[in-house]
Structure 1
Amino acid sequence: MLSACGSTLTPGTSSAVRYDQVTTVPLQAGDTRASIETATGGKVLTWQDGGCGTGEGACAAMVGLPAQTSLGTQSLAQTLARRLGRAVRVEHNRDAFSIGEKTTAGMEGSRVVWAGGSRVVWAGGSRVVWAGGSRVVWAGGTYTPVPENSGTWAQIQLQSAQDKAARLGEGVTVAVIDTGIDLTHPAFQGALTDPSTWQDYVGGDVTPQEEGVYGEGGYGHGTNVAGIVLQVAPLAKIMPIRVLGSDGSGDLSSVVQAIYWAADHGANVINLSLGTTQDSDSVKAAIRAVSARNVLVVSSAGNEDQDKITYPAAYAGDLQGVLSVGSVDAQDVKSEFSNYSGKLKVVTPGESVYAPAPENTMAAWSGTSMSSPMAAGALALALGQGNVSAAGLIGKLTGSADSVDGIAANRDYRGKLGSGRLNVSAFVTAAVQ
């Protein structure tokens, strides 16, 4: 039993079936779920046949495979290829993705009471007053709902952007594929999609509630990410999908299923504040398929301070509709932890970003995981104006960014910090023209 805000919420007690490996099988005429499962000895997890014969979308099934003790990945792929009569690739599945210390984010400092007590930051716990109502959320340049973020929002010119995009993301759905969120937090009341669109691939149920212990693993990560999206686009809706456990790791198959699920259930933007070093055919195919449906995918670059970015952010160099996001500090200098690369598209402030935390609190996190939802929120802000097409929108976001290459401290990263630091005001202007 989880408790928050004096209420209780009971997630499912079961756990999803997990597979050590998965294979993606190109579909051919006459294939059925049963025939593919018989040939592979596995379980069909996704079946995408909408792109068969069109050259667009996906035409493949992802199959979870039982543990194989005698065959390596390559040998198993060869065995399955002979059975199926077509080439396949077998991929490592279990815990392929992570929000661990080397891939995404870290919590810092202490939490404070979110609503009530001495820190009433949501106007008595009502999101409507904060995001709608009188709309008086800026006072002399201070962002009154979360004043700790005032400097960050000034850096990306959020106040001006929200003045220009007066619908504040209304009518736009952002899928947060993460550790789940604190579903009972007052920050999210009225801000979530219909529960029929929620999914928990870790628990094997439909209650993507954050689970864990404060200060350990990934507990609170998804709640923070979703809260950042809503600070940028206050009237957007969050679709919570849980693919990562309390330790911050999750299976490749869960991420693939979540991407398809989000697109099938109305997401306009998908945020992936997670990463892996594994170049996955199935993840890439899923992103390609949803991008063909004008769903925008935003992903964090990773936190290893390396001259390469993690997947799926790295697919931004190959696939349209994908935005890779790194982090800078308050002076637009590359964050010490942020990865960098020629495939990086944009950077945003990702240090000490305050947002909701489980159990009715607020906490700051740092990482490229915090940078990604800022960009996702910016896309939602623009799309909410109603006359904005998803096609070419990422190009307008990157094209309106403020270059950071001229900063002396960034000289070693020139050409590898994307087009610059997100400028939401300039982006909204470009998007609504």
Structure 2
Amino acid sequence: MRKQMPSRGWTLSALLALSLSVVAVTGGGQSVPSSAGGKQAWLRQDGRTAVTLEEPLARHQQARPRPAYAPGHIVVKFEPELRLRDVRSIAGEAGATRVTRARYADFHYVEIPKGDDPVAAAARLRREPGVLYAEPDPIVRASWTPNDSFYQLQWNFQKINMERAWDINRGGSANITVAILDTGVAYRTQGAFAQAPDLANTRFVAGYDFIWADDLPFDTDGHGTHIAGTIAQNTDNQTGAAGMAFNVGIMPVKVLDTEWDEQNGAPFTATLSVVAQGIRWAADHGAKVINMSLGAESGSSTIENALRYAVGQGAFISIAAGNTGDEDNSPEWPATYAKTIDGVMAVAAVDYNLQRAPYSTHRDYVEIAAPGGDNGADANSDTRPDGILQQSFDPDFQEQGIFNRFAYMYYQGTSMSTAHVSALAALLMDQGVTSPAAVEAAIKRFAAQKPA
């Protein structure tokens, strides 16, 4: 069923939704051995103590150029009654070299020669009998534009009335688990990795690393740690920054890789099929909210099916709309699917003045907007950029592969705005609004109207 899309934009109210203000804007245009020591080399290192810079930082980072689709395989769903030998036979007719099935998936990976075009290979296999769909596996990237930056600096929470919202629900409860599908989270201290100090009292539940295929989803970038901070940074502890839903459980699910994962021989890379497995895993392990601050240049049946599965399991999902607004405003997936699935919302970004952030994608699939920041502006004249402030890795050390040095950073992007909506959804669920579709309806119902 296609959703009824509002004809004008909306600015969500945290206060009203709990009895909460995020801004809503719609319409208009929106296991392989390691060759470099592997993850165990990190884990064997002597434990490192976390160190935090007291003064906020700023930086810009350019995304690594990557192909649109993962080489060496395509994603295929066969008729369920087919036997494995039939599956292999069909795939072989299309030039496949091997067929495997991931644990958390209803599809198969069909391996093809590394030099083959995955788009053409998928097209060949779609013509074979017994194939429900065959598609290339789009590469995924984090939807963010980082920059640099305590509570007085978190204008975003003040703009959405969080102080009054906390009077109604002070940070949620451990009954609600939010899965963060991202680059991992600095959630514990082990080997080369240190827990982010301002996440020391955050409740973490068991997660999974789909890049390394193990249960240690360590962050090697900082993006996922920043997202975790917006949702559940330690709060009212006289230190650092606050989080919106600081009593909920955080489930780190690593589905995005970095150059450090790649250089150390991670067996998997970030693709939509990997993200789809992460969605299903999170839903099967108790996540009631799934945050997806990520995007790809094209979609897939695999990811759409995973979204519908998770909603069917009772999970609300928020997805970054994309950061192409000041370029060609091109669509991003899986956010595009939000407009047809109740309980999934695509999130755009607004700035300090609650106007569309220049980078924020603005297409017809956008359903809500929240503070994403603008590091190129200082609308409140505090001599600091108007980004979203949380603790993350100190970039000067992260770039050297050092994961125990932290700083309070201003980031900007629809990744940041998406975390606000996930946190609000967690608070609503803690208030008793448990259906994903009902959470979406409540967010829309209490949003403040803004021009599209």
TM-score, normalising length: structure 1: 0.70
1:108 pairs with one of 142, 147, 155: 147
- Aligned runs of 1:123-134 on 2, under 5 Å? none
Q: Which amino acid aligns with 1:312?
A: P
Report the counterpart of residue 257 of structure 2 in structure 1. 245
Report the counterpart of residue 245 of structure 2 in structure 1. 233
2:208 pairs with one of 199, 209, 215: 199
Report the counterpart of residue 124 of structure 1 in structure 2. none
The alpha-carbon distance between structure 1 residues 345 and 302, as it changes in their structure 2 partners (threshold 3 A), is: same
1:283 pairs with one of 282, 286, 303: 303
3-state SS, counterpart of residue 131 of structure 2: coil
What number of residue pairs does the alignment pair up?
Answer: 333
Report the counterpart of residue 109 of structure 2 in structure 1. 63
Q: Is 1:362 matched with 2:408?
A: yes
Report the counterpart of residue 88 of structure 1 in structure 2. 133
| Cα deviation code 1:273-321 (max 9, x no counterpart) | 0111212111111101111122111011111114454111111111111
Greater shift, 349-358 or 158-167, is seen at 158-167
| Cα deviation code 1:340-398 (max 9, x no counterpart) | 01211111111111112132432110111100000000000111124644342111102
3-state SS, counterpart of residue 92 of structure 1: coil
Report the counterpart of residue 199 of structure 2 in structure 1. 188
Mapped to 2, the partners of 1:274 and 1:245 lie a distance apart of: 12
Q: Which amino acid aligns with 2:141?
A: S
Report the counterpart of residue 97 of structure 1 in structure 2. 140
Report the counterpart of residue 164 of structure 1 in structure 2. 168
3-state SS, counterpart of residue 181 of structure 2: strand
Identity rate, percent: 23
The alpha-carbon distance between structure 1 residues 370 and 159, as it changes in their structure 2 partners (threshold 3 A), is: same
Q: Which amino acid aligns with 1:237?
A: G
The alpha-carbon distance between structure 1 residues 303 and 71, as it changes in their structure 2 partners (threshold 3 A), is: closer
Mapped to 2, the partners of 1:363 and 1:300 lie a distance apart of: 19
Q: Is 1:323 matched with 2:345?
A: yes
The alpha-carbon distance between structure 1 residues 235 and 71, as it changes in their structure 2 partners (threshold 3 A), is: closer
Contact 1:201–1:242 (CA under 8 A) maintained in structure 2: yes
Mapped to 2, the partners of 1:236 and 1:225 lie a distance apart of: 14
Contact 1:288–1:319 (CA under 8 A) maintained in structure 2: yes
Mapped to 2, the partners of 1:347 and 1:167 lie a distance apart of: 21
Contact 2:104–2:277 (CA under 8 A) maintained in structure 1: no
Mapped to 2, the partners of 1:371 and 1:256 lie a distance apart of: 22
Mapped to 2, the partners of 1:64 and 1:180 lie a distance apart of: 27
Mapped to 2, the partners of 1:371 and 1:263 lie a distance apart of: 22
Mapped to 2, the partners of 1:4 and 1:182 lie a distance apart of: 12
Mapped to 1, the partners of 2:99 and 2:177 lie a distance apart of: 34
3-state SS, counterpart of residue 185 of structure 2: coil
The alpha-carbon distance between structure 1 residues 353 and 66, as it changes in their structure 2 partners (threshold 3 A), is: same
Report the counterpart of residue 22 of structure 1 in structure 2. 74
3-state SS, counterpart of residue 88 of structure 1: strand
The alpha-carbon distance between structure 1 residues 47 and 268, as it changes in their structure 2 partners (threshold 3 A), is: closer
| Cα deviation code 1:44-63 (max 9, x no counterpart) | 11565xxxxxxxxxxx4232
How far the C-alpha of 1:74 sits from its partner, in A, is: 3.5
The alpha-carbon distance between structure 1 residues 4 and 402, as it changes in their structure 2 partners (threshold 3 A), is: farther
Mapped to 2, the partners of 1:64 and 1:187 lie a distance apart of: 43
3-state SS, counterpart of residue 295 of structure 2: coil
3-state SS, counterpart of residue 363 of structure 1: strand
**Bigger relative CO (Cα 8 Å, ≥ 6 apart):** 2
Report the counterpart of residue 29 of structure 2 in structure 1. none
1:147 pairs with one of 146, 152, 163: 152
Q: Which amino acid aligns with 1:313?
A: A
Contact 1:108–1:364 (CA under 8 A) maintained in structure 2: yes
Q: Which sections of structure 1, spanning at least 5 residues, go unmatched?
A: 8-17, 49-59, 111-144, 212-218, 406-413, 415-433
How far the C-alpha of 1:26 sits from its partner, in A, is: 3.9
Contact 1:169–1:385 (CA under 8 A) maintained in structure 2: no
TM-score, normalising length: structure 2: 0.68
| Cα deviation code 1:177-228 (max 9, x no counterpart) | 111111211232342433xx311122232211122xxxxxxx2111101110
Q: Which amino acid aligns with 1:107?
A: P
Mapped to 2, the partners of 1:23 and 1:316 lie a distance apart of: 22
Mapped to 2, the partners of 1:64 and 1:182 lie a distance apart of: 34
1:292 pairs with one of 272, 296, 312: 312
Q: Is 1:373 matched with 2:419?
A: yes
The alpha-carbon distance between structure 1 residues 314 and 43, as it changes in their structure 2 partners (threshold 3 A), is: same
Contact 2:148–2:389 (CA under 8 A) maintained in structure 1: no
Contact 2:78–2:87 (CA under 8 A) maintained in structure 1: no
Contact 1:224–1:356 (CA under 8 A) maintained in structure 2: yes
Mapped to 1, the partners of 2:444 and 2:209 lie a distance apart of: 32
Mapped to 2, the partners of 1:81 and 1:362 lie a distance apart of: 52
Contact 1:47–1:61 (CA under 8 A) maintained in structure 2: no
3-state SS, counterpart of residue 302 of structure 2: helix
The alpha-carbon distance between structure 1 residues 162 and 284, as it changes in their structure 2 partners (threshold 3 A), is: same
Q: Which amino acid aligns with 1:165?
A: N
How far the C-alpha of 1:6 sits from its partner, in A, is: 4.7
Mapped to 1, the partners of 2:71 and 2:277 lie a distance apart of: 14
Report the counterpart of residue 100 of structure 2 in structure 1. 43
Q: Is 1:344 matched with 2:366?
A: yes
